[in-house]
Amino acid sequence: MPTSSASGHSKQSSNNNVAATSAAVEETITAVSTDDQGKTTVEQVKVVEGKLEPKSKRSSVLKPLLTGMLVYALLLMCFAHLFVVHATPVVWHEITGLAVLVVVMVHVVLLRSFFSFVGSQKAPVFIYRDIVLLLLALFFIVSMISGIAFSKVIFRNWLTFPGDRAMWRNVHAFATSYLLLLIGMHLGCYLNKFYIWLSEGLAPLILGKAYQQLPQDMAEAVKRAETLSKAAKNVRLALSVGLGLMAINGLYQFFATSFFYKLINERKFAFYDFDRLAILNVIDQLSIMVLAMVISAFIYRFLLQRSVKPE
């Protein structure tokens, strides 16, 4: 029994020494890391023997970033395609319109909590955002109803609306003209968030695999954060140049295609250059949307600055 007691005492002392040693080499510090979205954040981490304690899950930015970019690109191309009715057969135009309706409904359901704030925030920037959103909803509904009313394929013999098909065609052309601009204006309200998301997601992807993993120590974390910040700025600069060029083309297309006369209902047909590729006509329509988005982003930023209360 005494031997056993001594052994137990020795084991307990050994455990106490290990605990003391562990307490001496372990500490919690504030460190900079990169999360799954490629975003640089400051967090509390445990340091063991001068090294950051590794996390069980390896960070990855490629899959969510590329998935998000693909979804947004497809949506924008689908919207732009809808405004170039001669690019594809009528039946595909109608199918794409129905597909966009489903996507918009899913989008509304997923963000239904957001609509509880509509009208409740009184700052000028939120009033502008809500007005754009309500007008977008109005013209989207009118576009869908008028499109179904003069459908040439899918709904031609299914539904009957008052008035003739020519009237509904004019209503559809008028509503979709404003819809193109309002989509861009709505996106412009969130352009800064898109910049941050895309630049901070692409920065570690461009720099390589080493920047998609957690740093090994504090010095590396700080150095990596500085490098990521510079890379993110370069990505934002490239995005600004790209959007600027598209906006310039959109301004040219706005006047070259007499888009203004569609807004005042003096032109009933959609412009289409049969001497150019269909994709170029789609890009031209997308450029008009981008022009509205850039203008809206500047308006939103100006109103946001006006909405900030001085200290």
Name the token pair of 208: 């390589």
In sign, the C-alpha dihedral spanning 277, 146, 177, 78 is negative
Q: Is there a contact between 139 and 114 (Cβ–Cβ < 8 Å)?
A: no
pLDDT score, position 276: 79
| Residue with tokens 């006509």, as numbered in its chain | 281
When pLDDT is averaged across residues 149-169 and rounded to a whole number, the result is: 82
CA distance 208 to 49: 27
pLDDT in tens, 246-292: 999 999 999 988 888 888 877 766 667 777 787 888 888 889 999 99
pLDDT level of residue 132 (50, 70, 90 thresholds): very high
pLDDT in tens, 190-225: 888 888 877 777 777 777 666 556 666 677 677 777
Taking each helix axis from N to C terminus, what angle separates 218-256 and 191-207, rounded to the nearest 10 degrees?
Answer: 130
pLDDT level of residue 15 (50, 70, 90 thresholds): very low
Strands 26-34 and 51-52: unpaired
Q: Give how far Cα 133 sits from Cα of 40, 47, 51, 102, 185, Å.
A: 31, 48, 50, 18, 9
pLDDT level of residue 54 (50, 70, 90 thresholds): very low
Residue 18: exposure state from Cβ atoms within 10 A (0-12, 13-18, ≥19): exposed
Of 167, 210, 188, 204, residue with least CA distance to 300 = 188
pLDDT level of residue 67 (50, 70, 90 thresholds): low
pLDDT in tens, 88-131: 788 888 888 888 888 888 878 877 777 777 767 778 898 999 99
pLDDT score, position 139: 95
Name the token pair of 300: 């939103």
Starting from the edge strand earliest in sequence, which strands make up the sheet with 26-34, in order?
A: 26-34, 40-48, 51-52
pLDDT score, position 59: 42
